[in-house]
Amino acid sequence: MGLFSTAKTLNVLAESYAQAIIDSGIDFDVLFGPAYKGIPLAAITVTKLYEIGGEKYASIGYAFNRKEKKDHGEGGSIVGSALKGKKVLIIDDVMTAGTAINEAFGIIKEEEGNTVACIIAVDRMETTKDSDECATKIVSKRYNVPVISIVSFNDIVKVLQSKFTAEQMANIDEYRKKYIPAN
């Protein structure tokens, strides 16, 4: 997320998320961005959804959690749209072990929302310490929801492959063998 720090790069990122959401056809009411990186992602994406998708997305809300519950002002741990009884789409930047996404599921359940899918920019495709499957597959199975990624580790390597030296490709292949499941 740190590399996306200008209006132009954030616009491209928001457009990529929005288009992936539109292409997925997922029906949802609220876009939820887990603190902290998910917060700006939810905000920029919900506005881009309306810009690209029009009135169909005009009433989509967005929300995020506070790391510390507040007992004054708005109070609570959720800022933005209420989640109770809503179909919620979780947005985050990357999935490695699925820790942030698992926490988000718990928060949404606690708020009586129904998570219908997750969207991430990058699927690192890494196995977790407890399984030979990648985190996106584990999360998808555990919660019975699709996990949509804009790009995967393999997509990135494929596009940039011609730019890598033989030594860099050997390091990438070693990384794949160590962390990425064969299938």
The residues near 124 (Cβ < 8 Å, ≥ 6 apart) are: 94, 95, 96, 134, 135, 152, 153, 179
Please state whether beta strands 61-70 and 30-33 pair in parallel, antiparallel, or not at all (unpaired): parallel
The question of whether 72 is a catalytic residue gets the answer: yes
**What's the rounded Cα separation, in Å, for the pair 90 and 92?**
7
Give the class (CATH, top level) of 7-152. Answer: alpha beta
**Tokens coding 47:** 């506005």
Compute CA distances 61 → 47, 64, 163, 173, whole Å: 10, 11, 41, 42
The predicted-structure confidence for 47-103, as pLDDT tens digits, reads as follows: 999 999 999 999 999 999 987 665 555 557 899 999 999 999 999 998 877 788 889
pLDDT for the residue numbered 143: 95
At residue 182, does pLDDT exceed 80? Answer: no
Per the residue annotation, which of 48, 67, 69, 72 is the catalytic one?
Answer: 72
This prediction has a pTM of 0.89
**Tokens coding 155:** 């997509």
**What's the rounded Cα separation, in Å, for the pair 169 and 24?**
32
Average pLDDT, the chain: 90
**What's the rounded Cα separation, in Å, for the pair 96 and 152?**
11
Per the residue annotation, which of 70, 84, 141, 158 is the catalytic one?
Answer: 70
**What's the rounded Cα separation, in Å, for the pair 31 and 49?**
10
pLDDT for the residue numbered 56: 96
The predicted-structure confidence for 91-149, as pLDDT tens digits, reads as follows: 999 887 778 888 999 999 999 999 999 999 999 888 877 788 888 999 999 999 999 99
Domain boundaries, the chain: 7-152
